Structure 1
Amino acid sequence: METGIPGLSWDESKLKGFKVHELSPSVDVPARTGRRDFYKMGLVNGDMTIDYGGQIVEIKGTVLFFINPKVAHSIVRRVNRTSGYGCIFTEGFINKRELQDSPLFSVGDNPVIPLKEDEAFFIGSIFKKMLKAYDGEYPHKADLIKSCIALIIHEALEIQPSQQTKPFINGTSRIAHQFIDLLERQFPIERSSDPLKLRNPQDFAASLAVHVNYLNRAVKEVTGKPTSAHIAARITAEAKALLKHTDWSVADIAYALGFNYPAYFNNYFKRITGTTPNSFRKV
């Protein structure tokens, strides 16, 4: 199974739920991937462009990256030769609470952290330790590798504290962040038979036990965008992911996103993107 990390796949994995690999140099070989059930973490030196949840993220120089499986993503362009290390692991391999508590795997954070030379050297040494343990016969290598993953996470937090860990300044900021968290928790959609339950500002206000006008003011003040704009952008991003990375029919996608009729979804998608779902899928 392809993983979306150049040169890294699940094939012939030596440890259930985990694999680490030294990245092979590659030139102009676009690698697309959808959402999987594993997390990705890597140390990369190169020049590439990633589409992460509908946002274009540029990687230049040496960076540490973290990819959440809930976010649809793909490598859009890889220009120069890349080098470094990558690993993938499932929630079953590492402590699920540790992942949930780690803001570096939050869907709202930038997945890329630029590194200085000494930082890259140290984190590279941890990846080398994981690779040695992975290829070796040490009976407790799973525990050792888990400790290495945790160490990389903490090193990354020290280098660049997550935006999600910043204290709330006031109630307005808290409500805005609760809204964003509630919005993101609805995704990804795994089954067409389990449609979105919260689709408009009124739904979110009721769930957060606040008046919709207060929610709208808080979100606009903190983020600069209306509540409805956040919802529309996230639904559209999910629609694009489902169109590109599943074989669901347009009707199934429409129902999964909470549209009563496929025609409503078609009109909605075209109004926002300028193209129809079927046309987008064929690109």
Structure 2
Amino acid sequence: MTKSDTFSSPFRVLPLARLGSGGRWRTEAMRSYGAPVLLWFTRGQGRITVNGVTAGYGPHNCLFLPAGTMHGFEMSNQVNGTIVVFPQGSEEALALPDEAVHMRLREADKQMVLNGLVDDLQREMEKYSDTAHRAMMCHAGLLSVWLERQLADTKVEQSEIGATGRLVNAFAALVEQEFHTDKTVRDYAAELGVTPTHLSRVCNRTCGRPASAILQDRIHYEARRLLTETHIPIKDIAKSLGFASAAYFTRAFQKQTGTTPSAFRKGG
């Protein structure tokens, strides 16, 4: 195989800074990926919201997020690290965790091991070989084993989130499934068996934002993604996200972002 026949891998190993290169909204707004990801922060600090619950992160924090996990995190110029994107549908084959995991690795030997596992994946990505995918699956399997052992050997700080956390987790999961419909916070609250006021109160408690802000953040992240990454007409984007009309979508988008969808698309 020649360099012109570049091996296309379903894995991605990228600097975290690459995620924010198109604007802070790409990391801070609520979103999810269609594949499992591992976030490895090696420098800097900030806050990260996972399934509606906000926590601080700092150097040598490792987060594993299953596919479809709604999240967003602060990304300043001081933050360094790596994101590992696993192949879609690889959870069972690799025995990856089925819940979000946040670990603070204080021991230098654990930090070195994780760095080595990520570097091994990165090196295989740079090879032009039809055996690279098999090698990467083996390295990813070792990474999965490492995660499992950390979960067994350490206390994960999210272990007891309580009734409040479970309610917000359930709300975040519903939003992730149905944000493209015209459902309101009142509809989500009714489905969860609580009042809209109570739902917003617990969201404020766990992440500092009401339920409506979480919902709008997720919708408008998707709108911005579609505007910058596709050529779908604005009226069709509006329809796909549950807006009654393109005009209503434009007003809502401008209120959320400070610019119109057409201007945002041109600027992106």
Q: How does 1:13-24 map to 2 (within 5 A)?
A: 13=8, 17-18=10-11
Q: Which residue of 2 aligns with 1:248?
A: 232
CA distance in 2 between partners of 1:36 and 1:180 (Å): 14
CA distance in 1 between partners of 2:229 and 2:49 (Å): 14
Report the Cα offset of residue 224 of structure 1: 3.9
Q: Which residue of 2 aligns with 1:237?
A: 221
Report the Cα offset of residue 145 of structure 1: 3.0
| 1:82-112 residue CA offsets vs partner (Å, 9 max, x unmatched) | 8x987542133341794561313xxxx7xx9
Q: How does 1:146-225 map to 2 (within 5 A)?
A: 146-154=140-148, 157=151, 161=156, 163=158, 165-168=159-162, 170=163, 172-186=164-178, 196-197=180-181, 199-225=183-209
CA distance in 1 between partners of 2:65 and 2:203 (Å): 26
Q: Is the 8 A contact 1:18 1:93 kept in 2?
A: no
Normalised by the length of structure 1, the TM-score is: 0.61
Unaligned runs of 5+ in 2: 27-31, 51-55
Q: Which residue of 2 aligns with 1:92?
A: 89
CA distance in 2 between partners of 1:271 and 1:265 (Å): 10
Report the Cα offset of residue 249 of structure 1: 1.6
Q: Which amino acid aligns with 1:181?
A: A
CA distance in 1 between partners of 2:209 and 2:82 (Å): 37
Secondary structure at the residue paired with 2:183? Answer: coil
Q: Which amino acid aligns with 1:232?
A: Q
Secondary structure at the residue paired with 1:101? Answer: coil
Q: Which residue of 1 aligns with 2:254?
A: 270
Report the Cα offset of residue 219 of structure 1: 3.3
Name the structure with the higher helix share: 2
Q: Which amino acid aligns with 1:123?
A: L
CA distance 1:98–1:255, change in 2 (3 Å): farther
| 1:234-275 residue CA offsets vs partner (Å, 9 max, x unmatched) | 222222222222222211111111111000011111112221
Q: Which residue of 1 aligns with 2:117?
A: 126
Q: Is the 8 A contact 2:37 2:84 kept in 1?
A: yes
CA distance in 2 between partners of 1:44 and 1:175 (Å): 28
Q: Which amino acid aligns with 2:247?
A: A
Unaligned runs of 5+ in 1: 1-9, 188-195
CA distance in 1 between partners of 2:171 and 2:37 (Å): 26
Secondary structure at the residue paired with 1:260? Answer: coil
Report the Cα offset of residue 127 of structure 1: 4.0
> Of the two structures, which has the highest relative contact order with CA contacts closer than 8 Å and spacing of 6 or more?
2
1:117 matched to 2:108 = yes
Sequence identity (%): 22
Report the Cα offset of residue 78 of structure 1: 7.2
| 1:142-177 residue CA offsets vs partner (Å, 9 max, x unmatched) | 7643431212433665678364x4331x4x443233
1:145 matched to 2:136 = no
- Calculate the aligned-residue CA RMSD, in Å: 5.0
CA distance in 2 between partners of 1:267 and 1:69 (Å): 31
Q: Is the 8 A contact 2:65 2:99 kept in 1?
A: no
Q: Which residue of 1 aligns with 2:53?
A: none
CA distance 1:235–1:145, change in 2 (3 Å): same
Secondary structure at the residue paired with 2:86? Answer: strand
Q: Which amino acid aligns with 1:92?
A: G
CA distance in 2 between partners of 1:218 and 1:45 (Å): 31
What is the aligned residue count? 246
Normalised by the length of structure 2, the TM-score is: 0.63
